[in-house]
Amino acid sequence: MRPRNFFVLLALGVAALTASCGKSGPDPVVVGLNLELTGDIQTIGQSAKNAAELFFAKQNEAGGIELTGGKRPVKLVTADNAANATQAASIAQQQISRENIIAMIGPNSGKCATTASDIAEALKCVMISPWSPDPMTTMDPVAGVPKRYVFRAGSTDELQGRIMANFAAKKLGARRAAIISDSAHGAAQAAGFKQAFAAAGGEVIEEKVFEAVGKDFPLQVGTIASSSPEVVFVAASCEDALDILEAAEAAGLNAKFLGTELWNSPQTIRMTALGIDGLYFCRNFDHRDADPKTVKFVEEYTAKYNTPPDDVAALTYDACGLVTAALEKSGKNEREALRESLARTSNFEGVAGTYNFEPGSGDPVKSMPVLQIKGSGLEWIGDFGN
C-alpha cells in the first residue's frame, strides 16, 4: 500500500471513531495552522504563524467572525510539521478529526502540503496552502481532477507566465517576443506566457529550452538575438537568468527581459550590475506595493515583529482573510458551507493581490506585483492581472 493511501485510510478511520463518540463542536470558530516551525524552512513557517496570529488577533479584537446569530471568536490550533511530509499528514488528521477545525491554513512546503491535502480532501475539510508551488497540492493524482476542498493563495506557474505576457503586451506595447526556459522548472510558465501573449495580439518568434546539464546560453541567446525580439521571457532560476542575461549583453541583444517568481532570490540584486535597461519580474508580494491595504498590513506587521513581511506572510494573511470572508458570506460554521462559499470567491481584495477562484479549481486567478530591477535596486511598477 502506498504511504499516502495509508494515511488517508487511517484518517478516515479516526474520523469515524470520533463521530461515533458524539462530541459536539466547540463554541469558537477553530482554525488549524499546520506549519514548518522547525526544520529546513522554519523561517517560512514562522512568517506564516506571525501573519495568522496578527490577522486573527485583529479579528477577535473586533468581536470575531460574523455568522448567523452573531459574532464568534476564533481559536487557533497550531502544530509544527517540521517540514516532514509524514508529520504534516498526521497533523492534518489530528486537527480535522479531533480538534474539529473548520479549516486548515498550511502547510507551505510542497511535499507537506501535498500529503496534508490528501487528508483534507478525504475528510472533506477546507485547506489553504499559502505558498506551496506543487501542482499536486490542489490536484487529485488518481482522478486527474482538482481537489474540491483544497485551495492555495499563491500563484501557479502558468498564471505567472500569463501575467508577464499581458504586462509585455499591454504595459510595454511589445508584439514580438522570444522565450528561453528551463525544461524542469519553466515549462508551465513558458506555456502560460505563449498562450496569453498570442491572445493579446503578440507573436512568439523564437523559443529555446535548456536542460540542467549541457547549457549553451551563448548559442541559444545568439539565435534569439538574430530574430530581434522586443521582449525575452526568461522562465528560469535567478542563477541561470544571470548567465542568460550576461550572454545577451555580450551578444548585443537589445530587448527587455521578463522573469517570474523564479527570479525572487537574494541574487537578484546582482542583475543591477548589468548594463541592461529593462529587467522586470513578477512575484507574489512586495512590501513596496502602494495599495492602501498593503501599506497598512506592512506597517502593522513591521511594528509587531520588527521586520517587513515577506511573501509567505502576505499570502498567509490573505489565506486567513479568504477563510473569514467565505465564512461570513455563508453565515455558517460548517465545513461544506465554507467550501461552497470559498469556491465562489470573486474579487477578494487581499494584501497580495485580488483573488478569484474559477469553478472547479482551487488555484486562484489573481493579480501580482511587477518589479523593475534598476541600478538603485528594485522598484515596484504596479499590480497586474492576467
How confident is the model at residue 4, as a pLDDT?
57
Contacts for 219-222: CB closer than 8 Å, 24+ residues apart: 220/180, 220/247, 221/180, 221/247, 221/248, 221/251, 221/253, 222/247, 222/251
**What residues pair up with 32 in beta bridges, in sequence order?**
77, 104
Burial (Cβ within 10 Å: 0-12, 13-18, ≥19) of residue 104: buried
The three cell numbers of residue 258 are 521578463
Task: Find, among 252, 185, 195, the residue nearest to 218 by Cα.
Answer: 252
How confident is the model at residue 47, as a pLDDT?
98
pLDDT at 11 over 60: no
Local confidence band at 5 (pLDDT 50, 70, 90 cut-offs): low
Report the topology of domain 157-283: Rossmann fold (3.40.50)
Which tens digit of pLDDT belongs to each residue from 203-232?
A: 999 999 999 888 999 999 999 999 999 999
Whether 3-155+292-366 shares its CATH topology with 157-283 is answered: yes
CA distance 253 to 227: 10
Sequence-ordered alpha helix ranges (H) in 62-208: 85-97, 110-122, 157-166, 187-199
The three cell numbers of residue 353 are 493581490
Pairing mode, strands 176-182 and 231-235? parallel
pLDDT at 15 over 60: no
> Which CATH superfamily, name and number, covers 3-155+292-366?
Response regulator (3.40.50.2300)
How confident is the model at residue 362, as a pLDDT?
97
Local confidence band at 184 (pLDDT 50, 70, 90 cut-offs): confident
- What is the reported pTM? 0.89
Local confidence band at 22 (pLDDT 50, 70, 90 cut-offs): very low
Domain boundaries, the chain: 3-155+292-366, 157-283
The three cell numbers of residue 330 are 455563508
